[in-house]
Structure 1
Amino acid sequence: MERRPLRLSAPVRPLVFGGRSIGRKLGREGLPDWAVAETWEVSDVEGNGSVVIGGPLAGRSLRSLVEEFPQELMGRGWRGAFFPLLTKFIDAEGALPVHLHPDDATAARVENQAVGKTEAWHILQADPGATALCGVREGVGRDQLHKALVAQDFDSVLRRLPVRAGETIYVPGGTLHSFGPRTLVHEIEQTSDLQQHAMRWNMEDGSPVDDQQWRSNLEALMAEVRLDSRPDFHTGLRIGVGDGVDRVFCCAGPHFALERWRAGTAEPLRRSFSTAQILTNVGPPVQVSAHGRSEELGRGRSLLLPAVMEQVRIPGPADVLFGYLPDLALDVREPLTAAGYSPRTHRLPGRGCVSTRPHRARARSARAGSRSREPPTGVFRPGAGGSHTRKARRGPGTESGGSRCPHHHERTRGHATAGI
């Protein structure tokens, strides 16, 4: 595999809540002339996987690259059978249906799937007064929740949170949720499309769900809901990494991390890495340079940076997101601690280590790319492709004796629906 970015196909989804903000507000070109709800920027979901556009690997599926180039693409020691991250733009011109995705344990027990879906929403734009439903209110029991869902009285049992641009919320599997209207989101999540819906209408076209099917959907949802999951929005943790270059940790957890980087014109953005990175542009067009090559990344577009690239340089002005599978200690805690954030007092969305107030005695800038690190341990194994000897944990798509290839269908135990 060459040390160059991969440009991937990005299927669009014409769901009933969609609008035209991905093109008009985010500035993405080339969208169809109809309301678009979602673009799947990087996907290895079965039946909706990304394909390489251009270059020597043109036409290859993302799944085939993971299989043929596991360590070059993902990082040294990789043992998963599929790409572990799914990223999207979501235009909630209307409100999304109230729904949930199972967590890993429930997906394995109920759906016979290797992973569930934990996700995070990074808010790009939201109208004044925009809100989201996320999590069951404290003190609400199963009977009360079920009665409210039958009555479609969501506000009586679900938490309604204000939504503001620049904030992020980490939504564990099993959390009932919805957002919109008039909200534009970048979403990062596990590679899965399992879900259960509470609504009486289909989100593909707004057509009604018959009563028997709807009640079956509610029963499936009640079997997977987590009553104790009540996440909140967070502004993220900011550190300076150069003259006019800011790095914001939006969220970090065992399934993924998301960072937002901004650069002015004084100094380019430089990032070093040893695992695959999803680079998404939410600002003006930029030039992405590495190893003697440079290519433009337009507004609202994404590139997949293989681990073998190791570094990237982006002159400003720039406003981009990096999504990746983290080693929480090295990728998150270490730079935040070096910047003066105290591990005892701060928490990031996703249980990753975060803080809202720096530790005064240690406050100082941390420079990105100043160290060489080993790959995250989540689904990486020792002894593969080099002298990687870190203790590894099992992750999505792996078993102790080898890889397990899950089938991530678009499906629910109630009625089949497209993804969110």
Structure 2
Amino acid sequence: MKPTPLAPNLIDHFYLGGGRIAALRGIEQTSERQPEEWLAATVSRAGAGDVGLARTVDGDLLRDLVIADPAAWVGEHHADAADASDTGILVKLLDAGQRLPVHVHPDRGFAASHLDCPYGKTEAWFVLEADAGAAVHLGWKEAVDRDELDRRRDAQDSEWMLDHMNRIEVERGMGVLVPAGTVHAIDGGIFVAEVQEPTDFSIVLEWSVTTSTREESHLDLGFDTVMPAVSVDRLDESALASLVTRNDLSARGASARSLLSAEADPYFRLFLAAPDAGNETPVPSGFGVALVLEGSGSLVADTGDEVEYRSGQVFAVPASFGPWRVRGEGSILVAEPGAGWPSTLTGGIR
């Protein structure tokens, strides 16, 4: 089975953005609030039916193709996955045209206990473009009191929340891991590829800067239930530094380079494959999502199977393609599930 090119999959959302996605993908926006594209998604937006599910350029739902042949798509251990359509990963393009609200994602323990899901939502941002001075906000600078946080949330005190968070100015090529339970926000003017666990679980602490509401902000569980999933601990300088990487996106080489902190490896991995002139860059085998940032060439399997690529394309790469290589003048982001997946999950197919 060969890598499958995917159709555009822009998502209407509660915040502004999307122009940089359209430019990279060579498509047109139909709304000023299409700040996300979900790439190779076999999960949908929470409570939104099929919204978010990726389709091939021929119109087939990727989810249905995976269900029809999970061994070919995700490998021989597919029975350990969460369900028959599970690929272990969700990848997005996110172009923030305004600051995103302060919010948090639950971890796997909370999701298993309250949401009947083995995945939480640890995620990572890889910065493709950023306006000068734009920043992300991650974790508390000092431990905060839970009662005080509840009061500030109810008062929608944005200034207090942001003032108590770590602020990191970002630049092209920076990777930022966001562990589940950690408060975070993104300034407007930042364009990222986001790699995450395959869920759409968000606890929104600052809904007033969006078109969302309080009642849409607590996973339909109530704030009394979800707030224990929000860490109030300090994220100190050394811990923060361990979550951030800096990479040169113009660099080329004979091997695929890991772009994220090693702390991301249990959840997902992100590589850059950008071969030197006349050479090929090998990529680890397994299910993958390939985003062509620039250039053209071909994806080549050890079996000799080959698929041409060009700038702006997205491919779902099946595990049955085997070990493969990037040939040509391209620069390709490749996202894969975490190391050891899916045996790292518990419960298997339900």
Larger radius of gyration: 1
Give the match for residue 379 of structure 1: 342
Among all aligned residue pairs of Structure 1 and Structure 2, give the percentage whose two residues are the same amino acid: 24
- In the alignment, which of 106, 123, 140 is matched to residue 119 of structure 1? 123
1:289 and 2:300 aligned: yes
- Distance, in Å, in 1 between the alignment partners of 2:228 and 2:70 is 36
Q: Aligned runs of 1:354-365 on 2, under 5 Å?
A: none
Give the match for residue 175 of structure 1: 182
Post-superposition shift, 1:111?
Answer: 2.5
Q: 1:214 to 1:307 in 2, by over 3 A?
A: closer
Listed one character per residue, the Cα deviations across residues 258-293 of structure 1 (whole Å, up to 9, x for unaligned) are 1122223231223342x2121111222343233444
Post-superposition shift, 1:99?
Answer: 1.1
Give the match for residue 310 of structure 2: 298
Give the match for residue 168 of structure 2: 161
Give the match for residue 269 of structure 1: 281
- Alignment-mate amino acid for residue 198 of structure 2: T
Listed one character per residue, the Cα deviations across residues 131-188 of structure 1 (whole Å, up to 9, x for unaligned) are 1111122222212333333322222322211212111111111111111210000001
1:255 and 2:272 aligned: no
Give the match for residue 13 of structure 1: 11
- In the alignment, which of 239, 245, 248 is matched to residue 254 of structure 2? 245
Q: 1:244 to 1:161 in 2, by over 3 A?
A: closer
Q: 1:77 to 1:120 in 2, by over 3 A?
A: same
- Distance, in Å, in 1 between the alignment partners of 2:224 and 2:195 is 27
1:94 and 2:98 aligned: yes
Q: 1:271 to 1:114 in 2, by over 3 A?
A: closer
Post-superposition shift, 1:202?
Answer: 7.1
Post-superposition shift, 1:6?
Answer: 1.5
Query: Once structures 1 and 2 are overlaid, which stretch shifts more, 88-97 or 61-70?
Result: 61-70
Post-superposition shift, 1:403?
Answer: 1.9
| 1:265 counterpart SS class | coil
- Distance, in Å, in 1 between the alignment partners of 2:190 and 2:245 is 17
Query: Once structures 1 and 2 are overlaid, which stretch shifts more, 156-165 or 82-91?
Result: 156-165
Q: Aligned runs of 1:329-408 on 2, under 5 Å?
A: 376=340, 378-380=341-343, 394-395=344-345, 398-399=346-347, 402-404=348-350
CA RMSD of aligned residues (A): 2.8
Q: How many residues align?
A: 322
TM-score (norm 2): 0.82
- Alignment-mate amino acid for residue 103 of structure 1: D
For the 8 Å contact 2:87–2:287, the answer to whether it is kept is no
| 1:144 counterpart SS class | helix
Give the match for residue 316 of structure 1: 328
For the 8 Å contact 1:198–1:221, the answer to whether it is kept is no
| 1:66 counterpart SS class | helix
| 2:332 counterpart SS class | strand
1:222 and 2:220 aligned: no
- Distance, in Å, in 1 between the alignment partners of 2:271 and 2:294 is 14
Give the match for residue 65 of structure 2: 65
- Alignment-mate amino acid for residue 141 of structure 2: R
Gaps of 5+ in 1: 328-375, 381-393, 405-420
- Distance, in Å, in 1 between the alignment partners of 2:172 and 2:97 is 15
- Alignment-mate amino acid for residue 16 of structure 2: F
- Alignment-mate amino acid for residue 22 of structure 1: I
- In the alignment, which of 35, 38, 41 is matched to residue 39 of structure 2? 41
For the 8 Å contact 1:236–1:248, the answer to whether it is kept is no
Q: 1:287 to 1:31 in 2, by over 3 A?
A: farther
1:32 and 2:29 aligned: yes
| 2:232 counterpart SS class | coil
